[in-house]
Amino acid sequence: MFTGLIEDLGKVTEIIDKNGGKLFAIELNLDCSEIKIGDSISINGACQTVIKKKNKILTFEAMAETLNRTNFNYLKIGDIVNIERAMQINSRLDGHLVSGHIDCISKLNSIKNEGIAKIFNFESDTSLVIEKGSISINGISLTVSKVYDNSFEVSILPYTFLNTNLKHLKQNDFVNIEYDMVAKYIKKFTENKKESKITKEFLLENGF
């Protein structure tokens, strides 16, 4: 589980095709002394397992399902990716709960300036997106500022822009999207409400 608060920017140093999947070697900047083989690391929001470690270079293996769901197929050597280690239970949750399981990729339609912020518009199915709700884009916990029929916008402050790989994005680039976990559960419950015993009252009583 992750928070969507990016800790580091990693650089892709090697990509190897392997049995329908790919091996990615990524060089980190942060102190890797506590990272072990088998640890879960969020790469552009996708939860991956460290299978090899050499100094500050970590290797991950992405299977076909991951490649089909994420923007990993678009990664090239030298690309910059967002990095977050798994959250600690005793830490403050400053972002929102991010599982690291990518729902889909989304195309960046446009970027415009609005005061100190940059407004990013992404093409997307918006059935799980609400204004002022949470969404994870390339692993970054963000708040939706506007929702349209087939797209949504997020307002990016200078700190987030400078400290994530959003600053490297260009129009028509693809990003990884993870919709809010609570929104996905509620949609599933409401779509199956005839069979489900989950009610509005039940959700309210249990903190949703």
pLDDT tens by residue, 14-69: 999 999 999 999 999 999 999 999 999 999 999 999 999 999 999 999 999 999 99
DSSP state of 150: S
Do residues 152 and 135 lie in contact, with contact meaning Cβ atoms separated by under 8 Å?
A: yes
Give me the sign of the Cα torsion angle 120, 106, 185, 21.
Answer: negative
Burial class (CB in 10 A: 0-12, 13-18, 19+), 45: buried
pLDDT of residue 10: 98
Domain 104-186 has CATH 3.50.50.60: no
| pLDDT tens by residue, 108-153 | 999 999 999 999 999 999 999 999 999 999 999 999 999 999 999 9
Domain boundaries of the chain, sorted by first residue: 8-85, 104-186
**Residue among 191, 183, 193 nearest 130 (CA):** 183
> Domain 8-85, what architecture?
Beta Barrel (2.40)
pTM to 2 decimals? 0.87
Between CA 56 and CA 47 the distance in angstroms is 18
* Residue 190: CB atoms within 10 Å: 12
